[in-house]
Structure formats: structure tokens, C-alpha cells
């Protein structure tokens, strides 16, 4: 499957996350959607004593799983990253567009996280801790492990070379 087109007005150097990250996000979204959306709709179906109570409740679980999977998949496929001389850019677009740019001079330290599912899929999460107070980190999950290591090493090297870094 070819990578999705960049967002309107996006430069060609924005990199998409790998398809296997979207597949994992879809599975996680399906579980969440089945529990939250499907559970609420299914419970309502049973409590209102609608026809075919248990079959209807099961159908609502499936609907919730499909909605959750769709949102999870689309969110990962609409997340892009870019590394340039000034820093790291992250662009997300589901319903609202969000673009974050972390200048090199604001980077404090970098972490790579890999849970068991990410390790199995050769994925990683890059956490860029920035200068600031609480909640001052940018997290980019679903990166290919090789890309995550390259980003970490490149940002760390640029940080070492930047005289203005904190």
C-alpha cells in the first residue's frame, strides 16, 4: 500500500509512519471502541429491552470495534514527521490539524520507548523532552525502530553541536 499523500500545503519531506504502526493502532482502537462505544450501546440495547437483546448488544460491540479501529488507523496514517536543521516537526491530522515544531535549542534529552508489541513489530516511540515545566515533552509513537534511532542520534548530535542549547 503506498504511503498517504502529504497534507495540503505540506512539503514533500514530511515522512509518514509505517503501515504496521497503523495496523497496531487499529487493533488498539478496536478494543477501546468495543469497550467504550460498543459497551455503552450494547448495555443500552439490553436495558431498553429492544428486540433480539443479546444479538443487538453483540452487534453494538462490533460497531464500536469498527469505529475505534477506523479512528486508530486513520490517526496513525495521518501523522507525519520531519527533521531539518532547526529541529523536529510533527504533524497530525484527524479532525483537527496539529503541527508541533521542537527547536534544537529547546531539547533537553531524548528517550526511546519500546513495549513488547512495538518490539515485535520493529517500532519505537521517541520522546523529546523540552525545556519547560510539566508536560513539556513531544511524543512520536509508531516510528520504525531504525528511524527512531536515527532521529534520536541526529537530534542528540545536533544538540551537542548547538552552542545555544540549554
Residue-wise pLDDT tens digits, 12-64: 689 999 999 999 999 999 999 999 999 999 898 889 888 888 898 899 999 99
Classify strands 107-113 and 15-16 as parallel, antiparallel or unpaired. Answer: unpaired
Q: Looking at residue 156, what is its pLDDT? A: 86
Among the listed residues 105, 93, 90, the one whose alpha carbon sits nearest the alpha carbon of residue 148? 90
Q: What is the mean pLDDT of residues 119-129?
A: 95
Measure the N-to-C terminal CA separation of the chain; round to a whole number of Å: 42
> What are the grid coordinates assigned to 39, written together?
459497551
Mean pLDDT of 115-129: 95
pTM of the model: 0.79
Q: Which residues 6+ apart lie within 8 Å of 49 measured at CB?
A: none
130 band by pLDDT with thresholds 50, 70 and 90: confident
- The mean predicted confidence, pLDDT, of the chain is 86
Architecture of domain 79-161: Roll (2.30)
Strands (E), the chain: 15-16, 79-83, 87-93, 97-103, 107-113, 123-130, 137-144
Is the pLDDT score of 2 beyond 90? no
Residue 87, sorted as left (phi over 0), alpha (psi -120 to 50) or beta, turns out to be: left
The pLDDT of residue 4: 42
- Say if residue 139's pLDDT is above 70: yes
Give the start-to-end residue ranges of the domains of the chain. 15-76, 79-161
User: Using one digit for the tens of pLDDT, what is the confidence trace for 64-121?
Assistant: 999 999 999 999 999 999 998 888 999 998 788 999 998 888 888 899 999 999 999 9
What pLDDT does residue 87 have?
87
Amino acid at each position: 500500500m503506498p504511503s498517504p499523500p502529504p497534507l495540503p500545503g505540506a512539503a514533500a519531506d514530511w515522512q509518514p509512519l509505517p503501515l504496521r504502526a497503523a495496523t497496531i493502532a487499529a487493533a488498539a482502537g478496536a478494543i477501546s471502541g468495543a469497550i467504550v462505544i460498543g459497551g455503552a450501546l450494547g448495555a443500552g440495547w439490553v436495558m431498553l429491552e429492544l428486540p433480539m437483546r443479546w444479538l443487538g448488544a453483540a452487534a453494538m460491540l462490533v460497531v464500536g470495534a469498527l469505529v475505534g479501529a477506523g479512528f486508530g488507523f486513520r490517526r496513525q496514517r495521518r501523522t507525519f514527521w520531519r527533521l531539518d536543521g532547526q529541529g523536529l516537526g510533527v504533524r497530525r491530522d484527524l479532525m483537527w490539524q496539529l503541527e508541533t515544531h521542537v527547536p534544537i535549542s529547546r531539547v533537553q534529552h531524548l528517550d526511546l520507548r519500546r513495549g513488547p508489541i512495538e518490539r515485535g513489530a520493529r517500532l519505537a516511540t521517541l520522546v523529546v523532552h523540552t525545556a519547560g515545566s510539566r508536560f513539556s515533552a513531544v511524543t512520536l509513537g509508531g516510528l520504525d525502530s531504525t528511524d527512531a534511532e536515527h532521529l534520536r542520534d541526529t537530534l542528540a548530535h545536533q544538540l551537542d553541536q548547538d552552542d545555544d542549547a540549554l
